[in-house]
A and B are shown apart, each in its own frame.
Chain A
Amino acid sequence: AQSVTQPDIHITVSEGASLELRCNYSYGATPYLFWYVQSPGQGLQLLLKYFSGDTLVQGIKGFEAEFKRSQSSFNLRKPSVHWSDAAEYFCAVKGYQKVTFGTGTKLQVIP
């Protein structure tokens, strides 16, 4: 069975600082991985996805993520955080017909 672990429930960073959100997955085959962002009261929006090829993928809003098969990880990064990045972030893995989401990491950005 597939699973996703996001070990950090809350993260606080200063505006302009770098950000890394952790994601570990478990899946028996080649994983299809996603990061979504959810602003308060909104649905989820796709930030980026990994299917194959280059292990460093670029997404919207200046985010990137790196797939590391040896560590079963797909961490999300951003070099300089903006106040508008405050939201909840979900990592997800897709198996056959179904997607499993992590429990989310809530990002707070302080001035």
Chain B
Amino acid sequence: DAGITQSPRHKVTETGTPVTLRCHQTENHRYMYWYRQDPGHGLRLIHYSYGVKDTDKGEVSDGYSVSRSKTEDFLLTLESATSSQTSVYFCAITREQGLSEQYFGPGTRLTVT
């Protein structure tokens, strides 16, 4: 257990509304990641962070923004949710740079109607 929590765990929202998902870790790890999981696509990287205020884009970053003002929190924002963003979102951390495996949170199921 890497002390990762995600909130909310489930959310239903309407098209066009803003949504923010939160990932919280208790171990002060530097690297944090946001993925989305969709059937037939596996996990795809949205954004990642390598420190406070240091973030970079992943392969499916369009329509998403992130912020990291504290080591323990990594926020994912959908500025104007669309139905194509209905998905399960996972946060992950690595315990050290370089060779370490990732540890995942429990996920957030987001439905955009």
Please state if B101 and A98 are interface contacts (CB–CB under 8 Å): no
If the complex has contacts A42-B106, A97-B48, are A34 and B101 also in contact, measured as CB distance less than 8 A? Answer: yes
Interface residues in A1-49 by Cβ distance below 8 A to B read 6, 9, 32, 34, 42-46, 49
Distance to closest chain A CB from B101 (angstroms): 5
Please state if A102 and B42 are interface contacts (CB–CB under 8 Å): yes
Contact of B40 among A34, A46, A103 (CB under 8 A): A103
Chain A residues within an 8 Å CB radius of B101: 34, 46, 49
Interface residues in B84-113 by Cβ distance below 8 A to A read 90, 92, 99, 101-107
Please state if B31 and A97 are interface contacts (CB–CB under 8 Å): yes
Distance to closest chain B CB from A11 (angstroms): 16
Chain A residues within an 8 Å CB radius of B107: 42-43
Chain A interfacial positions (CB closer than 8 Å to B): 6, 9, 32, 34, 42-46, 49, 51, 90, 94, 97-104
Listed by A's residue number, 6 A-B pairs whose Cβ atoms lie within 8 Å are A45-B104, A46-B101, A51-B99, A97-B31, A98-B58, A104-B42
Closest 5 CB pairs of A and B: A43-B104, A103-B42, A101-B43, A101-B42, A44-B104
